[in-house]
Every structure is written in structure tokens, then in C-alpha cells.
Structure 1
Amino acid sequence: MFKWLLTEKSSKWFIGIGFLIIFIGLIIFRWNEHFFDWDVAIKSDKVGQLGDFIGGIVGSIWALAGVILFYVALNEQREDIKTNKEVLIAQVKALEQQIEEFELQREELAETREVFKIQSETLKLQQFESTFFNLLGIHQNNISDMDVTQEKLKPGADIHDPRLGDYENISSTGRDCFVFFKERLESIYKSNKQYWAWDTQKYKDEKHLALYSYIDFFKQYQPDLGHYYRTLYHIFKFVNVSDILDKNRYTSIVRAQLSNDELVLLFYNGITEYGEKFKPLIEDFHVFKNLNLDSLLNLSEHKPYYSESAYKKINLKEKENLVYLKSWNKKHWTHKKKH
């Protein structure tokens, strides 16, 4: 009942009732009266009573209708505010949901970038390893293609008075060639040392003897050894200039392929002009870690030709000391030459 009164429809009813009351009042007050007779004087008391009647009753009814309309408008405004608030809350929730979706998309994009990065690194590693093992295969093929023939006395032949038929040709292939190469280098070194002992002009120092002996040896077998060293150098250089983090892992694979005789020859090649570019890589990657130092032509004299890093992996402090020592030696000998 009260809810119906407080509606826009009820206010319209009150307004209609007001007009109806006005109409009825006019009829009542007009009864037996001559309102439209211009010759009769207007009865002010009757008009005043009509005005009081309309103002008292109809005015009150219309005032109530106005209050109801105001209440309805206020209530509708309150409902609109509530609806707008709900819409705003829904929009905020939708916005928050969009933010969460954007956050998820950003995380997915970050994960996608990480996956692409891993795939790129994996592809780069695969390309590196493919090239690395191809180079290593070429190096092994070079060794397999080596073939050396040497002339030796037959067992039982007189070494002091050999005859023509006392000699036989012995062939070495593959890695066995390096056994012969090392024996040949030792023979040249010992021969030079024996003859140079009487020639002080020729025998300057031990390093000069080692260099001269190796160069004499290398010139005899350069067709086989030159290709061997170039390929081996490019394998280490390829690893060194690459972006691979664990470079020692791959250089250790190469190092494991080298026999002791190969390491001895590589040792003396590195101190000549033929191996001057290879020597820093030998020291950086500890190539002589597995070298039997007793196999050198002169251990005590020749070992210092390389820094300690060539023989083992050194820590940072030792490396700093070696760098300082090299720098000091360079300045010391430069100063000595000037004076």
C-alpha cells in the first residue's frame, strides 16, 4: 500500500484528483450563482471561499504529489547511482582481469623469448659442434693418410760394416709415423750436438741447437707435418674465437687425441717461426698437460720455453704472477739491449 503511494503513478493520481476537486468546487460554488452575469456585482466572499477551498485542499494534494515526485526522483537517482557504482565495479573488475591477462601474456612472451634464446643457443652449439667434429675428422684423416718409409739394418747385420743387402725398407702409416718422426728428431739433435761441441761459432746456446735441429728435421718431412700442424692449429683457433663458454671441454677432446710423440713434435714446432701463432693457444689451453716431460730432448733446458700454463691449468693468482713475470722479463731484456 505505502509502496504504491510512493510512486510516480500515485502522484499523477493525486494531481488528477486535484483537478477533479477544482472542477467539483467550481460546480458547487457556481450553483445558483451568476458568475458570468456582468450586470451582477462579484461576491468577493464567495470567490475568497473558492480560493481558500482550492488552496487548502487542492494545494495540499498537489504539494503531496510534488513530495512524492521528489521522493521518486530521489529514489531513482539513488538507484542510478547504485547502478553506476555496480557498473563501475564491474568495469574495475574487467580492467583488473585485463591487467591479469596482460601480465600472463607478458610472462608467456618472456617464456617464449627464453625458449627462443635456448633454441638459438642450442642451434649455435649444434653448429659449433658439427664444425668442430668435422675439423677433428679431417685431422684424423690427415694422420691416417700419413705414410713414411725408412731404411734400417736387418737384424743380425754388422752395424760397423754393413753391406748392400743388409738394409730393408720399413713403412710406417698413420699415428705410427710420429714414432719415427720423434726418433728422427732425436737423431738429428744428438748428431748436431755432437758435432757442434767442437764448433763454438755454430753452437751459440741450447735453444739455438734445438731450433736448428727441429727446422732441419721439419724441412725433410714438411709435406706431412705442415698439413698436420695447420689443421691442428685451426681446430684450437676455431674453439678460441667461438662464443662457447666451456672451451676447455672441447680442447681437452683434441688434447686426448694427441699421442706423446705428437706432443713432443708440437713442443718444438711451437718455439720456431712455424708455430709462433700456435704457441699462445698451447699455453692457454694447457696442451702439454699429458706430455711426458722426460721425452723432451733436454728437459731442464727446454721446459722453460713455455709458461707453466702449457703444462697445467693454473689459478688466477698464478696467472697474474706469470703475466707480471713476462712483463718484467720483456722490460729487463729491452733495457739490457739498449745498454
Structure 2
Amino acid sequence: MKNLIIGICIAATVAALIAIGVFTSHFGLGFASNIGNWGAVGDFFGGVLNPTFALLSLILIAYTLMQNKKALEQSEKAIEQGTKAIEQNEIALQVSNKELELTRNELANSSKALEEQASLLAIQSFETTFFNMLELHNKLLNNIFYDGGESYENIKDELDITYYVDGSFYGEDKKHKGLDSLKRLITAIESAFVYGKNRTTVLFIFNTMYKYENKAFGGYFRNLYQVLKLIKNSFPDMNIQKKYSNILRAQLSNQELSLLLLNCLCPYVDNGEFRKLVIHFELFEHLDITYKLGDDNIATFTINNQTLNLTSNEIDQYFSTDTSGKLIKSAFGQNPQIMDYCKFKNLIDQ
């Protein structure tokens, strides 16, 4: 463009010089003598140079239009290329979005797999601890040894009874440990209840014996408490809790349940935390217990195999009720005898 302008300027200059040269060669140099001659001079130069300058201008305009056309074409190509680039960028973004989505899905799957693995490891860790504690539970039960002879006189004096069976009648069998010792302990408790002068409660007798005989069975009940606590704290789902507590409950004999009932009411044990766990897991649902309503509408309870006589006050402490006095949960679950008693007490609807 620059060269064209220079060329046109040179051509215009040359044309002007030629016109001046031609004019001066024919008419010489000097000023015209009248206005008419001046007009003739103007007509001469205008007639010679105007077409030349117009032609040069037309060439410049045409060239400019051609350049503008080329610029427009280049702009259109640039726009088209830009559009294609944008489309390619959109495709690239879509691909990137898909890759990100796949990455997120993979991360989510990995996270879920890790959670499942962690959950499985937690369950495995729990079950290892749980079954080890069950094994310890059985060992502690088998090592329980109760020989009433050691504390016989102290208990007899404290309860103010002249005689009660302490289990020594078992003869050589009194050397046996485990469940036999629990049977001897229950026999001693019921015997003290039968022969007591004031016919005090079975729970009072147990509390008295607890002070002297806790060394024989205290560790067993403490381990049982820790097993229940482990189950409750390990799983928020009650169905899973019941699964493991039922495994534990299946290991407990009627004698163990009987002593557990008294143990959880003993003031020397705790602040009722053990009893709350027993209620929570309904451990006494299969306890062999009989409910009887006397002529005075006073309810009495008898645990069978072996016999223990309980009062309604002792049973009532294993009920959880709401503010209106309705039963929320019972340590006896759906035990039919206790359910009849709850109906009598209006704890549940008839």
C-alpha cells in the first residue's frame, strides 16, 4: 500500500512536470497579461492534469477496495478459525468434564470401597474382641468357687438367723467350681430367706453375702458388664446389637440370670449402669420365672430352677417407663409371665 501511494505521488508529479514543461515550451514563462489568458492557462492544466489525477485516484480507490476485500476475507477466515477453535475447545471441555466425572466416580467408588473395608475391619476387630471376651466369660464361670463355710458365721450373725444351708451338704461336690458353685450360692440365699427370723428379702440377703463372697463371682459379673458395654458402644444399629447380645444371652444359664438380676440391684455394684444394659438388651426374656397375684393383690415372683422368691419392687426396677407410666422397655422382653404382670400394673394396654 505504501509503495502504491509513493508511485501514484511520483506519477502525479511527473504528469504535472510534463504538463508544465509542455506549456512552457510552447508559451514560455511569464505572467499572463489579462484574466482571459489566466483562464486559458487554468483550463489547460485542468484539462490535462484532472483526468490524470482522477485516474490515479481511481487506481488508489480500486486498490484500497481490493485491500479491504482481502482484509474482510482474512477476517472471515480468522472468525471461521476462531469459531472452529471455540468448537474444539467446547469438545475438549466436554471430554475434560467426562474425564472429571469418571475420576469423581472412581474416587467415590474407591472411597466407598475403603469405607466398606474399614467397616469390615472394624467388625473383624470387634468380633475378635467379643469372642475373646466370651471365652474369658466361660473361663471366669468355670473358675467361680463358692464355699459358704468361710463366711458362714459372719453372714449368719449379720442376718440374725440361727441356721441356713451354706452349700456344705454337697460333700465332696463342694470342691467343684463353676455352675455348681452358683447353685450352692443360690441355695444359700434361698435357705437364709426361709430360715430368717424377720423373713427379709432375697435381695437384702444377697447384698449381705456380696460383701463376703464378691471375691468368688465379682470378676465374672464385671466381665459380663464389659461385654454388654462393648456391644452397645460398637454399633448404633439396634438390630446388630441384638445379634451379638443374643449370642451372649444364649450362653447364660438360669442360675446366672438369677444372680445377675440380684447383682445389678446391689448398691455396691454401680449407679445402675449395669441394670440399664440388662434392660437395653432384654437379657431376662427367657428367665424361668413365675408371677402370682395374692388375695391382697400383692404380686410375688418365683424364679424356678433354682428357687428364688422376689418382690414386685425388685422386678419393677427392670422396667423403663415414660412420663405417663407406660412401659417403654423391659429387661424381661416378651416373657409371658412378666407381660401378664405389666397388664395388671397397667404398664401396657390390655
Q: Write the letter of the residue equivalent to 1:260.
A: N
* Paired position in structure 2 for 1:161: none
1:100 deviation in Å? 4.1
Q: Deviations over 1:265-302 (max 9, x none)?
A: 21222222244442221111111122211415126756
SS class of match (2:250): helix
SS class of match (1:298): strand
Counterparts in 2 of 1:72 and 1:277: CA distance versus 1, 3 Å: closer
Mapped to 2, the partners of 1:67 and 1:172 lie a distance apart of: 124
Mapped to 2, the partners of 1:134 and 1:149 lie a distance apart of: 29
CA RMSD of aligned residues (A): 4.3
* Paired position in structure 2 for 1:266: 260
Count of residue pairs the alignment pairs up: 286
| Greater alpha carbon shift after TM alignment, 112-121 vs 37-46 | 37-46
The 5 Å alignment of 1:111-190 reads 111-147=109-145, 168-170=171-173, 173=176, 177-190=178-191
CA contact (8 A) 2:257 2:287 kept: yes
Counterparts in 2 of 1:210 and 1:127: CA distance versus 1, 3 Å: same
Counterparts in 2 of 1:195 and 1:24: CA distance versus 1, 3 Å: closer
Q: Deviations over 1:209-237 (max 9, x none)?
A: 21233245445643221111111112212
Mapped to 2, the partners of 1:238 and 1:230 lie a distance apart of: 12
* Paired position in structure 1 for 2:25: 34
Mapped to 1, the partners of 2:173 and 2:27 lie a distance apart of: 159
* Paired position in structure 1 for 2:68: 70
CA contact (8 A) 1:29 1:50 kept: no
* Paired position in structure 1 for 2:221: 229
CA contact (8 A) 1:193 1:209 kept: no
1:189 deviation in Å? 1.8
1:62 deviation in Å? 2.8
SS class of match (2:308): coil
Counterparts in 2 of 1:269 and 1:88: CA distance versus 1, 3 Å: same
Q: Deviations over 1:101-134 (max 9, x none)?
A: 4444444444444444334433433333333233
Mapped to 2, the partners of 1:15 and 1:132 lie a distance apart of: 102
Counterparts in 2 of 1:184 and 1:89: CA distance versus 1, 3 Å: closer
Q: Write the letter of the residue equivalent to 2:267.
A: E
Mapped to 1, the partners of 2:140 and 2:282 lie a distance apart of: 23
* Paired position in structure 2 for 1:337: none
Q: Write the letter of the residue equivalent to 2:194.
A: K
Q: Deviations over 1:59-100 (max 9, x none)?
A: 333322222222222222222222233333333443444444
Q: Which runs of 5+ in 2 are unaligned?
A: 33-39, 150-168, 290-302, 320-328
* Paired position in structure 1 for 2:318: 306
- Indicate which of 284, 287, 312 corresponds to 1:288: 284
* Paired position in structure 1 for 2:194: 193
1:262 deviation in Å? 1.1
Q: Write the letter of the residue equivalent to 2:216.
A: D
- Indicate which of 274, 281, 291 corresponds to 1:278: 274
Counterparts in 2 of 1:35 and 1:123: CA distance versus 1, 3 Å: farther
Mapped to 2, the partners of 1:234 and 1:17 lie a distance apart of: 109
SS class of match (2:173): strand
Mapped to 2, the partners of 1:277 and 1:61 lie a distance apart of: 109
1:39 deviation in Å? 6.1
| Greater alpha carbon shift after TM alignment, 40-49 vs 261-270 | 40-49
SS class of match (1:48): helix
1:180 deviation in Å? 4.3
The answer on 1:297 being equivalent to 2:308 is: yes
Mapped to 2, the partners of 1:139 and 1:224 lie a distance apart of: 14
Q: Deviations over 1:244-272 (max 9, x none)?
A: 43322222221111112211221222222
Structure number with higher helix proportion: 1
CA contact (8 A) 2:225 2:274 kept: yes
- Indicate which of 246, 257, 263 corresponds to 2:251: 257
1:241 deviation in Å? 3.5
So what's the TM-score if we normalise by structure 1?
Answer: 0.65
* Paired position in structure 1 for 2:164: none
Counterparts in 2 of 1:178 and 1:144: CA distance versus 1, 3 Å: closer
- Indicate which of 199, 207, 213 corresponds to 2:205: 213
SS class of match (2:265): coil
Counterparts in 2 of 1:39 and 1:312: CA distance versus 1, 3 Å: same
